[in-house]
Amino acid sequence: MSEESIRTTAELIRHADAVLVGAGSGLSSAAGYNHYHRNAVFEANFHDFEEAYGIQSLFHGFYYIYSKPEQQWGFYSRYIKFMEDAPAGQPYIDLVEILKDKEYFILTTNCDIQIPKVFPEDRIYQFQGDFRYFQCSQPCHDKLYESHDLVSAMLDNMEGLEVPAEWIPRCPECGWKMVPWVQDNTFLQGEAWQTAYQRYEDFVRKYQGKKLLLLELGVGEMTPSIIKLPFWELTAKNENVFYACLNREAAHRPEHLRGRSLYLQGDLAETLAALRQVRSIAATIK
């Protein structure tokens, strides 16, 4: 990361008619909520699950094959409550300021409640769901249920690391077990998901032919078809679109986007903090 590249990115934001953000798990990792690796946050809050099951990360705990659902819901409820209570990370707060006074929309693969804490719902498309909601695991109908009260009840009645069977959430329609509304083979792409998708499509359509900046933040290689590849395609097909990739890791550099793309490699928290500062200084000069 260089000062020149930060200034260039700030200028791209300033001159853009709108900014489409693609937010990946690296943005939460930069905020201290690393879901894929063992870190201090995991050790401080989930060491008992690590001792009991050998779980090494939040992601590992969420998809771990437990011997019974009471154990699984013990982890689910602790994980969801932790993310619900966790303060919005500084990179997210910096992003709010960076986008201030701009037209923007956020496409994200994150479901850890960080983005809805600081951005309005009508400017977010959470492709892989949101921990704040449960759904029927079949699913037998198109409805999401707020998880807060159900999670609180499970935690209040925990026995060790397990949720008693009678407190495991069940679908009020069919009686089948509910599951967190996050991507798996039963994921409900119902009205809520479709509405957010339509907002995303409407935003892209609205700024077709105008100066649109695609700002990719912390997107890895696990699910490139959701953010990275569509962003590349959108840039390639529209001469007024510019693609900026900010990531801690080195990123692929498609030759066909040369001249209309920018890559900033470095600590994402530091990059966003620096970008916010440059944007703030520019605003005062105006």
Q: pLDDT of 41-96, one tens digit each?
A: 899 999 999 999 999 999 999 999 999 999 999 999 999 999 999 999 999 999 99
Q: What is the pLDDT of residue 281?
A: 81
Q: pLDDT of 138-151, one tens digit each?
A: 999 999 999 999 99
Q: At what angle do helices 69-85 and 40-53 cross, to 10 degrees?
A: 170
Other C-beta atoms lying within 10 Å of the C-beta of residue 259: 6
**pLDDT confidence tier of residue 167, bands split at 50, 70 and 90:** very high
Q: What is the pLDDT of residue 151?
A: 98
Amino acid at site 178: M
Give the mean model confidence (pLDDT) for residues 149-174: 98
Strand 104-108, strand 124-126: pairing: parallel
Q: What is the pLDDT of residue 222?
A: 82
Q: What is the pLDDT of residue 250?
A: 79
Distances 42 to 38, 56, 74, 89 between C-alpha atoms, Å: 6, 8, 15, 16
Q: Are 187 and 95 in contact (CB under 8 A)?
A: no
- Taking CA 157 as the corner, what is the angle to CA 152 and CA 161, rounded to the nearest 5 degrees? 95
Give the mean model confidence (pLDDT) for residues 118-131: 98
Q: What is the pLDDT of residue 6?
A: 95
Is the per-residue pLDDT at 284 higher than 70? no
Tokens of 162: 């397990």
Q: What is the pLDDT of residue 2?
A: 80
Which residue, among 238, 196, 204, 245, has the nearest Cα to 224 in the 3D structure?
Answer: 245
Q: What mean pLDDT, rounded, does the chain reach?
A: 95
Q: pTM, whole model, 2 decimals?
A: 0.95
**Distance separating alpha carbons of residues 195 and 173, to the nearest angstrom:** 23
Q: What is the pLDDT of residue 252?
A: 75
Q: Are 78 and 69 in contact (CB under 8 A)?
A: no
**Distance separating alpha carbons of residues 160 and 256, to the nearest angstrom:** 56
**Distance separating alpha carbons of residues 40 and 32, to the nearest angstrom:** 9
Q: pLDDT of 235-277, one tens digit each?
A: 999 999 999 999 998 777 788 999 999 999 999 999 999 999 9
Which residue, among 158, 162, 126, has the nearest Cα to 144 in the 3D structure?
Answer: 126
Q: What is the pLDDT of residue 201?
A: 98
**Distance separating alpha carbons of residues 245 and 264, to the nearest angstrom:** 6
